[in-house]
Amino acid sequence: MKKAISLLLCLALAAALLAGCASKTNQLAEAYEVFGMKPKELSKVEIIRQDTMELKTVDKTKDIGKILDVFSHVEQLENVKPDLAAFSSSYVLQFYSADGAQLLTASYAQEDKSACLFAAGDPYAVDPIDFDGLWDKLDYETVPASVQNPLGLDYLEMSEGDLSGRYGSESVLGYIGTLTTLRAGVDVVERKADSASAAGYVITGEGDGVETYRLAKDCEFWVLEDHWYVACRVSYDDLQKYMKKTDYAMLWTLYLKDGEVAAIAETYTP
């Protein structure tokens, strides 16, 4: 598998970055406010190495300082769009305040000379750092990382490949309005290439009408880790919980087989 299996990343914080990071976007500034904290203001940083699903809990002030120093100096490449499909080495970091409250979850991914920092709900192209080296230098016990996330969803399976290889290429794209164990009501849309768009495409057909699709008895459900690129299979009940907890309309791919929905998968949108 080219990319590493990874764990949930959650959205966090709402704040502006102080002097020195004014060139960064507001979303990225939320993360940099944490990166700019003093080591003693944090109780620990949990790091998950995604290719091995190993966890290190860093709780020594000097080592927390090393992590903060590395990320506080990461520079955003403002005019570069990260290629999410290209990254193979990545880590999840969870930062905790001195009183134990979780402040931020972010991730860092790298492939050769390209790197991406994912924080505050969006991916940002950044200058690469030697995080593999930092991981090796942090002398802490490694333990298996949990696959249960802050929303309480149980990941039955995780995949970084194209799900069409599993379910076939016949599919529809759209926004789910209603969903039961038997049927899905979908506002079907199309995604068309558009070089003038920041995302590289535009969505058309939204609001043209809802179509109803019958779900197969063994229909499977997939959500994206922090609405990003790692697909996580969940139960129907957890899918409903996930949809209720997300306060914006998500785009979904419905994979069809023999006239029924074989799988429903959240689809990444910038």
pLDDT, tens digit (0-9, with 9 covering 90-100), for 62-79: 999 999 999 988 888 877
CA distances from 86 to 91, 115, 159, 174, 229 (A): 15, 9, 15, 25, 11
* pLDDT surpasses 90 at 263: yes
Reduced DSSP (H G I as helix, E B as strand, rest coil) percent helix, strand, coil of the chain, to 5: 20, 40, 40
Give residue 110's pLDDT: 84
pLDDT class of 27 with cuts at 50, 70, 90: low
Q: For 204-213, write each residue's pLDDT tens digit.
A: 988 788 999 9
Q: What is the mean pLDDT of residues 37-59?
A: 92
Q: Which of 2-11, 62-71, 72-81, 219-228 has the lowest mean pLDDT?
A: 2-11
pTM value? 0.55
pLDDT class of 116 with cuts at 50, 70, 90: confident
Q: In angstroms, rounded to a whole number, what is the distance separating the alpha carbons of residues 11 and 86?
A: 23
Burial 106-138 (b: 16+ CB within 10 A, else e): bbbbbbeebbbbbbbebbbbbeebebeebbeeb
Q: Which CATH class is domain 26-144?
A: mainly beta
Find, among 117, 129, 137, the residue nearest to 228 by Cα. 117
| Domain range summary for the chain, segments of one domain joined by + | 26-144, 157-267
Instruction: Spell out the residues 6+ positions from residue 181 whose beta carbon is closer than 8 angstroms to its own.
Output: 215, 236
Give residue 20's pLDDT: 34
pLDDT, mean over the chain: 82
Q: In angstroms, rounded to a whole number, what is the distance separating the alpha carbons of residues 240 and 6?
A: 22
